[in-house]
Structure 1
């Protein structure tokens, strides 16, 4: 009595899965007239297909009866193989292609625009321009979170102190003009210092 060879162990088939083992035994018996190499290829392909369908990451099939139903009768597989071609439905489940790693964004115009808004733009629009520059800097991968946080502090702290000074002058009822000038200078200087602090990191990453 011919039995199914035990060297088909390419993937984990449960020893207690009688349906699968019976199917493989029937396939082995029906393929007796095939050439040994072709018979081995058919058995290996079918065993691999069953195991891959059961362990597929994308679409696993737990019920072996569904897999065997898709395979069809063993005689049909043998007949197709005898005609010189492996059945089309034995194509192995294709694993989803891994997503390509995100490409590093090149140092470009957005980074320079952010620094320009923090420096030259602060002279023209002391509040709006530095804010826009900081938003561009925050959205760029060219600086570390610590560098971005430092730029925000350098630009925002002088502006906050200037507003406090203006409020104090308005409350005391004197020196409002001088307070406004000092506030303007503080905001401009803080923004320019924030922009200049980002230049070394930008040039260092470009060399890398």
Structure 2
């Protein structure tokens, strides 16, 4: 003889499942005066919350009483819904702002730094100037960073030229030329180092900032 749906061989519900069903039944009864859509939303949210918490526990089929206590009584949930707000522990977490990935550096930016820091050894004035022009067109560095690089580069160049002119005017030796060269190279190299961290920056700056 085939067993009916309510025959004695139907597997009984676990005690933990009975507790959850009793809680949901009590919540359904406590919210009978709510708008149907709001009532359905609350029931779905609570049921999902219970299922998520139980699945995250060490024993998904274990005692759900701690989860139900955290929810509060069905009456308190119904009262909160009547006031037009969802209890804090049932609210969906705010979507976190994704941390922007590092912006890939272009070959132009690498070329600008190379001309500024390394090319200055061969062409102390022309190479840093070309590098700074390339860097100035990149949005990776702020206007303040670019200005600082120009000052670090141009300042020693002007001082170097002044030193060379003074050496020519007053009969200075080759030592003045060496010092002027080192000043020009050193200034451009320091400027390149100051811009180097920008290659791994996670943001770019709008032009003019």
* TM-score scaled by length of structure 1: 0.47
* TM-score scaled by length of structure 2: 0.46
